[in-house]
Structure 1
Amino acid sequence: MAGRHHSSASKYLRSRLLLFTLSLLALTLLFYTFSPSPTVPRTIHATLNPNVDYSFVSSLEKFLINSKSHPTLSDDTVTATITQQDVEKLDDLISRKQTQRLDDNSFYPLSSPIRVYVYNMPSKFTYDLLWLFRNTYKETNNLTSNGSPVHRLIEQHSVDYWLWADLIAPESQRLLKNVVRVHKQEEADLFYIPFFTTISFFLLEKQQCKALYREALKWVTDQPAWKRSEGRDHILPVHHPWSFKSVRKFMKNAIWLLPDMDSTGNWYKPGQVYLEKDLILPYVPNVDLCDSKCFSDSKRNILIFFRGRLKRNAGGKIRSKLMTELSSAEDVVIEEGSAGEAGKAAAQSGMRKSIFCLSPAGDTPSSARLFDAIVSGCIPVVISDELELPFEGILDYRKIALFVYSSDALQPGWLLTFLRSVSPAQIREMQLNIAKHSRHFLYSHPAQPMGPEDLVWRMVCYSYLLFI
């Protein structure tokens, strides 16, 4: 673990794991370089399991009801004032445990599930915020300054809920085997901070929100586990780029769960986020999955489709320029639209009728539209020069999306000529790949193997190995 309270055993562990990790990465690179591309099965489509919740609202309703009947498990989250001696004691215990596991198994932690300690934070940081969303989402029509429905944005960035709900579920109900929850800090590889930064940002008054952020900051940074590592082994979900801004500079060492890196500096300050430390997670799709029946019934007679806000900041300014370039072309649909219920239905219908779906940058380099297109069976055309994608170490996006430089897309006639030149065989192959890969972007409870929650922990493990 990285931090200022390292023992000699911890340094010994770090050197052995670093050597092993570098060897593993080299072997992985060789494997992907020289292995042949697998044949895509022609019958694989993601399907919705009737026993699984894929809706944030539906899952949250059941989660909150069940939370009343499930007793809180005891753990050793610290609530009293701590001393330097407490920090050093925990550091020694964790180092001993990790060294023992490595001595018992030289392939640890790759051969074992990653151990996550979930802080038992006061309910004002967790359950109270979930109840606030649950009790208000039907009654409010609040919009952000750019016209987006507040509660839809919260759903879109609800990765903190999906991960937490899976981690704290009874182990007998969990399907993911690569991560386990531990109840003693000395047994943990990583520490999860279950604070709902997006809900608090959108549903609390500004000053109330800032005060809660400061309280959360103090609560976490007072923990001995934070002090021993300065937060480098802590996971903090800050998936909406507006959330937690007033205090996150004090938690910049933690592993952040983000929608993208945004290297433009509009949302994250230099030195706060970087790929070697932080993880990019997909947005929660706004539209329903286009399953095998949808695929077979879908008649895709639109070449290019886009529906959304045409006026954006930073790299998103390309949207209005694309509108001017493409609006007069046949078999192209470019529409101004919002994310309300009517907008969702229109976007879903349009994507399911289209071969290609434009995914230009929004206010940040990423856009939820990319993941809406994937689950709709529409080939994304990504026009964003600064974009980093979720799970890039695991998924090959070239099989399911086309990537276009902004400078090329804005050349008169270039984009239409390029997309019309894609052969029917290539389109069909990409559509089959999308059908196969869409399950990687469907959050659910219980979390499914190879779903986004599962891939998150696989990526977290890589990050942990590099920073241990």
Structure 2
Amino acid sequence: MARKSALKRTLVTFFVALVTFALFSTFFNPTTVTNSSSKLDDTAFSLNSAKTASVFRLKSNSFGGNSLVKVYVYDLPTRFTYGVIEQHSLARGGRPVDDVTTLKYPGHQHMSEWYLYSDLMRPQSERVGSPVARVSDPEEADLFFVPFFSSLSLIVNPIRPPGTTDASEKPVYSDDENQDALVEWLEQQEYWERNYGRDHVFVASDPNALHRVIDRVKSSVLLVSDFGRLRPDQGSIIKDVVIPYSHRIRVYDGDVGLDNRNTLLFFMGNRYRKEGGKIRDILFQILENEKDVIVKHGAQSRESRRVASQGMHTSKFCLHPAGDTPSACRLFDAIVSLCIPVIVSDNIELPFEDTIDYRKTAIFVETAAAIRPGYLVSALRAVTPDRILEYQKELEEVKRYFQYGEPDGTVNEIWRQVSKKLPLIKLMINREKRLVRMDSDCSCLCTNRTAISSNL
């Protein structure tokens, strides 16, 4: 009897430990996975108890094994959405229309704001694989999406060559005024004030987007191309999401291989840039006379994109020097061309690095080494054909992450990245509610010198 009692206690202890382990694992399982079964269903432990298995399934659903993050899309005044498209059209000679929602968003490298907005406006049944779901009731929302077309707003007024217009003439449209008006509108909204905007999401792909009001929205999740124009208290990899530029050249639809790639290294873009982009002029001087290397100066235009497509599709390597900020659209053009990116940008941040190991898809060269005459070309010539094919195969695997129009491409991956910020957002919201708010410059996880707030 003593042996049976001891055996019974041992089995009960083992059973309780097993269930505790399973519940613990479920709790810490990522909450944004979709289109796949709960990992608990594939557990290596074989359990005979149907009751225990049902507990596993219950906890998996409760803690979000397949749950969608709920997003509320603000119904902004038209001036911040389709009104920006209308103003962009009018500034370029377009005619007024009765219904601005019929206007087409213009193509440019910062189109992410349009793709994300239009994705959320589609019926949920068409949003296959998305980790977020749009809700109509803000009380149900985990996150709030602010669909201001900030990058398009920045370029509404076209750049005019010097001497073509009266310098004193005030443009009809003001991006600064629209930014101010947007934040004033938001600050009147209950859900903005409730959590200080921390659970709100803005797209600011152009490095200068939202420049006027960035300090008023810096606690929110910012979707940015890089942090080149942001101070550490305004943006960081911890609270924000790095997103790719929208590629502007034709996607390469050929096979992996070297037969049609006779150019060693290709680059086409603006030669003269400000700040960190000054490296471009130096690289031009070093590379422009090298054999099997093509470097061309060219701005965005239909013809430039055609030439760039041809050049990237027939080159083994594509140069990616820093622009005015660390990143530029050429990187993503290269990826969808299966042209191995050669990144010369010491401070670059890259999209989706928890999913993509860029060491397998790109070559990184320190700026100091790249500007040594002969170094870059010699290093690239030393890469074996087999190694080039390995890079190309990896690029083929990941290029869907950089195609906004793909059904399970860039848009879904951005939403996955945003969803992963939710635990941090909730942590900061709850934390701030118990603290005396004294540090106005702490937008992210940094040392907070405030004191505990009394509930009395």
Same fold (TM over 0.5): yes
Paired letter, 1:275: I
Structure 1 residue 243 corresponds to structure 2 residue 212? no
Q: Secondary structure at the match of 2:354?
A: coil
Q: CA deviation at 1:336?
A: 1.1
**Counterpart in 2 of 1:112?**
67
Q: CA deviation at 1:412?
A: 2.3
Structure 1 residue 383 corresponds to structure 2 residue 341? no
Distance of aligned partners of 1:138 and 1:403 in 2 relative to their CA distance in 1, 3 Å threshold: farther
Which of 397, 401, 410 does residue 452 from structure 1 map onto?
410
**Counterpart in 1 of 2:236?**
274
The CA distance in 2 between the partners of 1:367 and 1:153, in whole Å, is 19
Which of 104, 120, 125 does residue 167 from structure 1 map onto?
120
The CA distance in 1 between the partners of 2:273 and 2:62, in whole Å, is 48
Distance of aligned partners of 1:109 and 1:136 in 2 relative to their CA distance in 1, 3 Å threshold: farther
Distance of aligned partners of 1:258 and 1:308 in 2 relative to their CA distance in 1, 3 Å threshold: same
Within 5 Å, give how 1:216-255 maps onto structure 2.
216-255=182-221
Q: Secondary structure at the match of 1:434?
A: helix
**Counterpart in 1 of 2:85?**
130
Distance of aligned partners of 1:122 and 1:314 in 2 relative to their CA distance in 1, 3 Å threshold: same
CA contact (8 A) 2:61 2:67 kept: no
Distance of aligned partners of 1:190 and 1:182 in 2 relative to their CA distance in 1, 3 Å threshold: same
Q: CA deviation at 1:312?
A: 1.0
Structure 1 residue 356 corresponds to structure 2 residue 356? no
Distance of aligned partners of 1:371 and 1:117 in 2 relative to their CA distance in 1, 3 Å threshold: same
The CA distance in 2 between the partners of 1:257 and 1:441, in whole Å, is 15
Return 5+ residue gaps in structure 1 as ranges. 1-18, 26-102, 141-150
Structure 1 residue 370 corresponds to structure 2 residue 334? no
Which of 381, 394, 398 does residue 420 from structure 1 map onto?
381
The CA distance in 1 between the partners of 2:362 and 2:251, in whole Å, is 17
The CA distance in 1 between the partners of 2:367 and 2:375, in whole Å, is 11
**Counterpart in 1 of 2:284?**
323
Which of 314, 321, 338 does residue 275 from structure 2 map onto?
314
Paired letter, 1:213: Q
Q: CA deviation at 1:105?
A: 5.5
The CA distance in 2 between the partners of 1:138 and 1:153, in whole Å, is 14
Q: CA deviation at 1:106?
A: 7.0
Q: CA deviation at 1:23?
A: 5.2
Q: CA deviation at 1:130?
A: 2.8
The CA distance in 2 between the partners of 1:408 and 1:297, in whole Å, is 27
Structure 1 residue 466 corresponds to structure 2 residue 424? yes
Q: CA deviation at 1:271?
A: 0.6
The CA distance in 2 between the partners of 1:238 and 1:209, in whole Å, is 13
CA contact (8 A) 2:276 2:323 kept: yes
CA contact (8 A) 1:233 1:254 kept: yes
Q: CA deviation at 1:436?
A: 2.1
Q: CA deviation at 1:402?
A: 0.7
What does the per-residue CA deviation read over 1:209-252, in whole Å, with 9 as the maximum and x for residues that have no partner? Answer: 22211111111122111111101110011111122211121111
What TM-score do the two structures reach when normalised by structure 1? 0.71
Distance of aligned partners of 1:270 and 1:326 in 2 relative to their CA distance in 1, 3 Å threshold: same
Q: CA deviation at 1:104?
A: 6.8
CA RMSD of aligned residues (A): 2.8
Structure 1 residue 211 corresponds to structure 2 residue 177? yes
Paired letter, 2:415: W
Q: Secondary structure at the match of 1:180?
A: strand
Which of 287, 305, 312 does residue 249 from structure 2 map onto?
287
Q: CA deviation at 1:172?
A: 2.7
How many pairs were matched up? 357
More deviation, 348-357/131-140 = 131-140
Which of 110, 114, 121 does residue 76 from structure 2 map onto?
121
CA contact (8 A) 2:85 2:105 kept: no
**Counterpart in 2 of 1:404?**
365
The CA distance in 2 between the partners of 1:370 and 1:138, in whole Å, is 32
Indicate the structure whose relative CO is greater, using CA pairs within 8 Å and at least 6 residues apart: 1
The CA distance in 1 between the partners of 2:83 and 2:105, in whole Å, is 19
The CA distance in 1 between the partners of 2:144 and 2:86, in whole Å, is 24
Query: Percent sequence identity over matched residues?
Result: 36
Distance of aligned partners of 1:459 and 1:110 in 2 relative to their CA distance in 1, 3 Å threshold: farther
What does the per-residue CA deviation read over 1:270-299, in whole Å, with 9 as the maximum and x for residues that have no partner? Answer: 410011111110000010100136x67961
CA contact (8 A) 2:72 2:136 kept: yes
CA contact (8 A) 2:257 2:389 kept: no
Distance of aligned partners of 1:316 and 1:457 in 2 relative to their CA distance in 1, 3 Å threshold: same
Q: CA deviation at 1:132?
A: 3.9
The CA distance in 1 between the partners of 2:425 and 2:345, in whole Å, is 29
What does the per-residue CA deviation read over 1:10-37, in whole Å, with 9 as the maximum and x for residues that have no partner? Answer: xxxxxxxxx9899558xxxxxxxxxxxx
The CA distance in 2 between the partners of 1:22 and 1:364, in whole Å, is 40
Q: CA deviation at 1:460?
A: 0.9
Q: Secondary structure at the match of 2:72?
A: strand
The CA distance in 2 between the partners of 1:367 and 1:186, in whole Å, is 39
Q: Secondary structure at the match of 2:421?
A: helix
What does the per-residue CA deviation read over 1:126-171, in whole Å, with 9 as the maximum and x for residues that have no partner? Answer: 122234445666869xxxxxxxxxx999621011110010101122
The CA distance in 1 between the partners of 2:287 and 2:106, in whole Å, is 28
Q: Secondary structure at the match of 1:290?
A: coil
Paired letter, 2:399: S
Q: Secondary structure at the match of 1:304?
A: strand
Paired letter, 1:387: I
Paired letter, 1:184: D
Distance of aligned partners of 1:417 and 1:139 in 2 relative to their CA distance in 1, 3 Å threshold: farther
Distance of aligned partners of 1:122 and 1:104 in 2 relative to their CA distance in 1, 3 Å threshold: farther
The CA distance in 1 between the partners of 2:240 and 2:398, in whole Å, is 23
The CA distance in 1 between the partners of 2:119 and 2:363, in whole Å, is 33
Within 5 Å, give how 1:86-101 maps onto structure 2.
none
Paired letter, 2:247: P
The CA distance in 2 between the partners of 1:291 and 1:250, in whole Å, is 44
Q: Secondary structure at the match of 2:248?
A: coil
Distance of aligned partners of 1:153 and 1:395 in 2 relative to their CA distance in 1, 3 Å threshold: farther
Q: Secondary structure at the match of 1:355?
A: strand
- Which is helix-richer, 1 or 2? 1
Q: CA deviation at 1:206?
A: 7.6
